Protein backbone atom coordinates (compact mmCIF):
# COMPACT_ATOMS: atom_id res chain seq x y z
CA UNK A 1 0.00 0.00 0.00
CA UNK A 2 1.08 3.57 -0.69
CA UNK A 3 -0.31 7.05 -0.12
CA UNK A 4 -1.59 8.95 -3.14
CA UNK A 5 -0.24 12.41 -3.91
CA UNK A 6 -3.70 13.91 -3.29
CA UNK A 7 -3.98 16.12 -0.21
CA UNK A 8 -6.60 13.85 1.32
CA UNK A 9 -3.94 11.06 1.33
CA UNK A 10 -6.09 8.15 0.22
CA UNK A 11 -4.38 4.75 0.45
CA UNK A 12 -4.00 2.78 -2.80
CA UNK A 13 -2.34 -0.41 -3.96
CA UNK A 14 1.09 0.17 -5.50
CA UNK A 15 -0.23 -0.22 -9.08
CA UNK A 16 -2.86 2.46 -8.55
CA UNK A 17 -0.41 5.12 -7.36
CA UNK A 18 0.48 6.50 -10.81
CA UNK A 19 -3.18 6.50 -11.87
CA UNK A 20 -4.17 8.32 -8.71
CA UNK A 21 -1.53 11.00 -9.15
CA UNK A 22 -2.27 11.43 -12.85
CA UNK A 23 -5.98 11.89 -12.25
CA UNK A 24 -5.36 14.36 -9.41
CA UNK A 25 -2.79 16.43 -11.31
CA UNK A 26 -4.87 16.62 -14.49
CA UNK A 27 -8.00 17.55 -12.52
CA UNK A 28 -6.09 20.66 -11.39
CA UNK A 29 -5.06 21.59 -14.95
CA UNK A 30 -6.52 24.16 -17.27
CA UNK A 31 -7.63 24.57 -20.85
CA UNK A 32 -7.56 27.75 -22.86
CA UNK A 33 -8.94 29.41 -25.96
CA UNK A 34 -7.27 31.84 -28.32
CA UNK A 35 -8.12 33.34 -31.69
CA UNK A 36 -6.76 35.49 -34.49
CA UNK A 37 -8.29 37.45 -37.37
CA UNK A 38 -6.82 36.54 -40.74
CA UNK A 39 -7.29 38.50 -43.96
CA UNK A 40 -7.89 35.45 -46.10
CA UNK A 41 -10.94 33.31 -46.88
CA UNK A 42 -11.62 30.29 -44.67
CA UNK A 43 -10.77 27.96 -47.57
CA UNK A 44 -7.19 29.31 -47.68
CA UNK A 45 -6.75 29.15 -43.90
CA UNK A 46 -8.11 25.58 -43.92
CA UNK A 47 -5.53 24.63 -46.56
CA UNK A 48 -2.70 26.08 -44.47
CA UNK A 49 -3.81 24.08 -41.43
CA UNK A 50 -4.34 20.79 -43.28
CA UNK A 51 -1.83 20.82 -46.15
CA UNK A 52 1.25 18.66 -45.43
CA UNK A 53 3.53 21.25 -47.06
CA UNK A 54 2.97 23.56 -44.04
CA UNK A 55 3.06 20.92 -41.29
CA UNK A 56 6.75 21.30 -40.41
CA UNK A 57 6.69 25.10 -40.51
CA UNK A 58 3.68 25.16 -38.18
CA UNK A 59 5.01 22.35 -35.97
CA UNK A 60 8.23 24.24 -35.32
CA UNK A 61 6.16 26.77 -33.37
CA UNK A 62 5.71 24.08 -30.70
CA UNK A 63 9.09 22.37 -30.81
CA UNK A 64 12.03 22.20 -33.18
CA UNK A 65 11.47 19.45 -35.73
CA UNK A 66 7.89 18.78 -34.62
CA UNK A 67 4.96 18.36 -36.99
CA UNK A 68 1.59 16.64 -37.36
CA UNK A 69 0.55 14.17 -40.03
CA UNK A 70 -3.02 13.32 -40.97
CA UNK A 71 -5.31 13.00 -43.96
CA UNK A 72 -7.71 15.30 -42.04
CA UNK A 73 -10.80 13.12 -42.49
CA UNK A 74 -13.37 12.23 -39.86
CA UNK A 75 -12.14 9.27 -37.80
CA UNK A 76 -8.54 9.58 -39.03
CA UNK A 77 -5.42 9.55 -36.90
CA UNK A 78 -3.43 12.69 -36.21
CA UNK A 79 0.19 11.81 -35.42
CA UNK A 80 2.45 14.25 -33.58
CA UNK A 81 5.93 13.49 -34.91
CA UNK A 82 9.51 14.68 -34.93
CA UNK A 83 11.72 14.86 -38.01
CA UNK A 84 14.31 12.79 -36.13
CA UNK A 85 11.82 9.88 -35.80
CA UNK A 86 9.22 10.21 -38.58
CA UNK A 87 7.92 6.66 -38.13
CA UNK A 88 7.49 6.84 -34.36
CA UNK A 89 4.72 9.22 -33.24
CA UNK A 90 5.30 11.03 -29.96
CA UNK A 91 1.53 10.84 -29.61
CA UNK A 92 -1.53 10.14 -31.72
CA UNK A 93 -5.04 11.45 -31.66
CA UNK A 94 -8.24 10.90 -33.59
CA UNK A 95 -10.41 13.36 -35.47
CA UNK A 96 -13.75 13.02 -33.70
CA UNK A 97 -15.56 15.95 -35.32
CA UNK A 98 -15.03 17.51 -38.72
CA UNK A 99 -16.89 20.07 -40.79
CA UNK A 100 -14.88 20.84 -43.90
CA UNK A 101 -13.44 24.38 -43.81
CA UNK A 102 -15.12 25.08 -40.45
CA UNK A 103 -14.22 22.70 -37.63
CA UNK A 104 -11.68 20.07 -36.62
CA UNK A 105 -11.80 18.41 -33.21
CA UNK A 106 -8.91 16.09 -32.30
CA UNK A 107 -9.08 13.94 -29.20
CA UNK A 108 -5.84 12.56 -27.72
CA UNK A 109 -5.37 10.10 -24.90
CA UNK A 110 -2.06 10.12 -23.04
CA UNK A 111 -1.29 7.11 -20.90
CA UNK A 112 -4.54 5.56 -19.67
CA UNK A 113 -6.15 8.50 -17.92
CA UNK A 114 -5.22 11.89 -19.34
CA UNK A 115 -7.46 13.11 -22.13
CA UNK A 116 -6.46 16.14 -24.17
CA UNK A 117 -8.23 17.77 -27.08
CA UNK A 118 -7.79 20.49 -29.66
CA UNK A 119 -10.59 22.24 -31.50
CA UNK A 120 -9.93 24.40 -34.54
CA UNK A 121 -12.89 26.64 -35.44
CA UNK A 122 -12.91 28.77 -38.59
CA UNK A 123 -15.60 31.42 -39.07
CA UNK A 124 -15.71 34.48 -41.22
CA UNK A 125 -17.07 36.80 -43.80
CA UNK A 126 -16.00 36.91 -47.42
CA UNK A 127 -12.22 37.35 -47.46
CA UNK A 128 -11.64 37.21 -43.68
CA UNK A 129 -11.39 34.37 -41.18
CA UNK A 130 -11.49 34.17 -37.43
CA UNK A 131 -9.43 31.15 -36.39
CA UNK A 132 -10.10 29.99 -32.85
CA UNK A 133 -8.18 27.30 -30.98
CA UNK A 134 -9.48 25.58 -27.87
CA UNK A 135 -6.95 23.22 -26.30
CA UNK A 136 -6.33 21.37 -23.09
CA UNK A 137 -6.24 20.45 -20.39
CA UNK A 138 -2.67 21.39 -19.60
CA UNK A 139 -0.76 21.05 -16.39
CA UNK A 140 2.21 23.12 -15.25
CA UNK A 141 3.11 23.93 -18.87
CA UNK A 142 -0.07 25.94 -19.52
CA UNK A 143 1.76 29.27 -19.93
CA UNK A 144 4.33 27.75 -22.31
CA UNK A 145 1.54 26.19 -24.36
CA UNK A 146 -0.28 29.52 -24.58
CA UNK A 147 2.88 31.08 -26.05
CA UNK A 148 3.33 28.20 -28.51
CA UNK A 149 -0.30 28.42 -29.65
CA UNK A 150 -0.04 32.22 -30.05
CA UNK A 151 3.06 31.71 -32.22
CA UNK A 152 1.27 28.99 -34.19
CA UNK A 153 -1.73 31.27 -34.83
CA UNK A 154 0.57 34.08 -36.01
CA UNK A 155 2.36 31.66 -38.34
CA UNK A 156 -0.96 30.50 -39.84
CA UNK A 157 -1.86 34.16 -40.39
CA UNK A 158 1.54 34.91 -41.96
CA UNK A 159 1.25 31.99 -44.40
CA UNK A 160 -2.42 32.68 -45.19
CA UNK A 161 -1.78 36.38 -45.91
CA UNK A 162 1.22 36.20 -48.24
CA UNK A 163 0.65 39.66 -49.75
CA UNK A 164 0.38 41.62 -46.51
Give per-residue pLDDT as tens, 119-154: 999 999 889 999 999 999 988 888 999 999 999 999
Geometric angle at alpha carbon 84, from 96 and 135, rounded to 5°: 30
Report pLDDT digits (tens) over 56-98: 999 999 999 999 999 999 999 999 999 999 899 888 999 999 9
pTM of the model: 0.79
- Terminus-to-terminus CA distance in the chain, angstroms? 62
Percent of all residues in the chain with a pLDDT value above 90, rounded to a whole number: 65
Domain boundaries, the chain: 29-160
Asked whether the predicted pLDDT for residue 156 surpasses 50, the reply is yes
Across-strand partners of 114?
110
Q: What's the pLDDT at 113?
A: 63
String of DSSP letters for 29-90: -EEEEEEEEESS-HHHHHHHHH-HHHHHHHHTTTSTTEEEE----TT-EEEEEETTBTTS-S
Distance CA 40, CA 164 (A): 10
Label the pairing between strands 129-138 and 77-82. Answer: unpaired
124: how many CB neighbours lie within 10 A of its CB? 18
Higher pLDDT pick, 26 / 51: 51
* 24-38, 41-55, 58-72, 122-136: least confidently modelled range: 24-38
Find residue 130's DSSP bridge partners: 37, 123
For residue 28, pLDDT beyond 70 = no
> Quick one: 29-160 is in which CATH superfamily?
START domain (3.30.530.20)
Q: Which residue has the higher pLDDT, 64 or 22?
A: 64
Determine the average pLDDT of the residues in 21-41.
72
Amino acid sequence: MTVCCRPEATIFDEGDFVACCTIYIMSKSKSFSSNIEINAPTSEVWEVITDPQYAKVLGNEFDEGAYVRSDWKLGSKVDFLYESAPDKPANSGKITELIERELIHVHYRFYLFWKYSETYLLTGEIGTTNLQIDAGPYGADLDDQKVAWANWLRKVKEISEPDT
